[in-house]
Amino acid sequence: MKDSGKLGFLTRQVHAGHIDDPKGSATVPIYQSSTFKFKSANHGADCFSGEDDGYIYTRIANPTIDALEQAVANLEGGFGGIATSSGMAAITTVYLAFLGQGKHIVSHNALYGPARVVMETIFSRFGVDYSYVDTTNIQQVRDAIRPETTMIYTETPANPTIGITDLKALADVAHEAGIPLVVDNTFCSPYLQRPIEFGADIVVHSMTKFLNGHADVVAGMIVTSDEKYYKMLRPVMVNMGCNMDPHQAYLVHRGLKTLGIRIEKAQDSARKIAEYLEKHPKVEWVKYPGLKSHSQHELAKQQMDGPGTMISFELKGGLDAGKKLMDNVNLILLAVSLGGVESLIQHPASMTHSKLTYEKKLEAGITDGLVRFAVGIENVEDIIEDLDQALALA
């Protein structure tokens, strides 16, 4: 796209990453090939040396995957994208690029469970140390940094506590220490938040969620703010074999084209559902950035273009009441994940964050009664009616 910076987000989500296909395809074709033919022996040598940007092997690069990488990087306002086979592949690629024996990471204590578990159970075996703090408290982050710290990693809103981290303040702390800030932007997507605009160096996504939006693909993405970090990360992905499949890339790129309108519909419903839950006599508390009762409501308005579609709440009856609620929904699906067209409900303490000890869950604010609700694009009246009948049984 020419002058894409002048175009609106919805226009760019439709057109970014388009390939000028010689056959005239209006959509990006699926280059379902593991390897690519060279024009000559010299051409092959030039491709391997980097003098020619021709394609070699899909683990290294592929036209369909490239198109998706360019599209997401464009929407995030970054230098370049690196697509991976899953969100966890994106996270571990970043970990591998910056961490090693004797190195240290400072991270949020409430974030996607496996992102923490892989650090504590696998990377720790190779001499990597870690500190998990509340990154919404900038002083805690500052106090946790050591001479051997090589990365600050956070996600905002946090999963599943919906805590909001001040990205600009955190980026300033990272850069004062001479280390990169990595932000998981899965909960917002670039439609609602672009961490690079606030100083983040690297953004990661589980594209399984909002970017794909249809609960039928597992995929990840890394976007870097500059060429230096791109050149650090790309070889790690290639050499570790974390690459995406071309057909997988095609499906995500197709889903990306409706990102904004999907989020707008689900977000509008989430506002109404959060207000409904906050007034319900059986609900102890609700955490949603769009509610004035959220302790970081004003910060959310400053760095997010909308409060999003994720809600956490707890029932006055605790875990038992939460289980009855989840066991009695009819329309809403009892399932993990988020960002799809369907509404999902789940129990983080026993599901997505079950590998954390009880003490670590409490430190992160993950109580036994916490329920995480991902709002879909169904009619909001139907979602509320389903919640109402299930709450009556809780």
Task: Give the whole-angstrom CA distance, residue 118 versus residue 187.
Answer: 20
Task: Give the whole-angstrom CA distance, residue 120 versus residue 364.
Answer: 15
Classified as helix, coil or strand, 187 is: coil
In the DSSP assignment, the letter for residue 207 is T
Neighbours of 20 (CB within 10 A): 6
Q: Which residue has the tokens 């994106």?
A: 90
Amino acid at 284: E
Q: Which residue has the tokens 């970090």?
A: 229
- For 318, phi then psi, to 5°, come to 70, -150
In the DSSP assignment, the letter for residue 173 is H
Residue from 241, 239, 240, 207 nearest 222 by CA: 207
List 134, 184, 201, 245, catalytic entry: 184
Residue from 88, 92, 62 nearest 249 by CA: 62
Q: Which residues contact 84 (CB under 8 A, 6 or more apart)?
A: 90, 93, 219, 220, 221, 222, 237, 242, 243, 244
Task: Give the whole-angstrom CA distance, residue 338 versus residue 323.
Answer: 19
Structural tokens at position 99: 């961490």
Helices and strands of the chain, counted as H and E runs: 15, 12
Task: Give the whole-angstrom CA distance, residue 165 versus residue 108.
Answer: 9
Among this protein's residues, is 53 annotated catalytic? no
Bond preceding residue 157 cis, omega within 30 of 0: yes
List 31, 112, 153, 229, catalytic entry: 112
Q: Which residue has the tokens 């056959």?
A: 23
Task: Give the whole-angstrom CA distance, residue 95 versus residue 125.
Answer: 14
List 46, 52, 57, 59, catalytic entry: 59
Among this protein's residues, is 184 annotated catalytic? yes
Q: At what angle do helices 380-393 and 259-279 cross, to 10 degrees?
A: 40
Edge-first strand order for the sheet with 344-346 is: 283-287, 310-315, 370-374, 344-346, 333-334
Catalytic machinery residues: 59, 112, 184, 209
